[in-house]
Amino acid sequence: MTQPLKHFKIAEFDSPDAPGSGAKMQPQFLQRIDNARAIAGIPFKINSGFRTAAHNLKVGGVADSSHVQGWAADIAANSGTTKFTIVNALLKAGFTRIGIASSFIHCDCDPTKPAQVIWTY
């Protein structure tokens, strides 16, 4: 990682089955999500960051999940206002891949996937 994170501890991105695995997150992703958190001005609770292949399978993640490569995270978001604040900040921070679910926002900057997309779950 090029710069220390201001708003997160790397352990927040650990796969539940692999303590310390948050260190496998991509540095570019971490800097971008840290910047988004600063822009949003509200805490981001990371529901899912790095995933081992086994954990990804357990939670029903797609085979080529960006989580497994350390390019993605899911941020808890239950209200429309919180979702708007988070999505707005993610866009301003340069995220171009965003998924919106009933209880979380997915963000990634996986360079192997199409950009400028927003989807719902």
pLDDT of residue 65: 97
* DSSP bridge pairs for 98: 107, 118
Q: For 79, how many CA atoms within 13 A lie in the half-sphere containing its CB? A: 3
Q: Is residue 78 part of a domain?
A: yes
Question: Hey, is 76 helix, strand or coil?
Answer: strand
Q: What angle do CA 5, 10, 14 make, to 5 degrees?
A: 155
Q: Is residue 4 part of a domain?
A: no
Question: Hey, is 83 helix, strand or coil?
Answer: helix
pLDDT of residue 1: 43
Q: Is residue 28 part of a domain?
A: no
Q: Is residue 17 part of a domain?
A: no
* d(C-alpha 30, C-alpha 4), whole Å: 9
Question: Hey, is 109 helix, strand or coil?
Answer: coil
Q: Is residue 106 part of a domain?
A: no
Q: Is residue 52 part of a domain?
A: yes
pLDDT of residue 41: 98
Spell out, as residue ranges, where the chain has pLDDT lower than 70. Answer: 1-2
Question: Hey, is 115 helix, strand or coil?
Answer: coil
Q: Is residue 66 part of a domain?
A: no
* d(C-alpha 57, C-alpha 65), whole Å: 10
Number of structural domains (the chain) is: 1
- For residue 35, give both structure tokens: 């910047």
CB–CB of 86/43 below 8 Å? no
Q: Is residue 33 part of a domain?
A: no
Structural domain harbouring 75: 48-60+71-98
97-100 and 46-48: which strand pairing?
A: unpaired
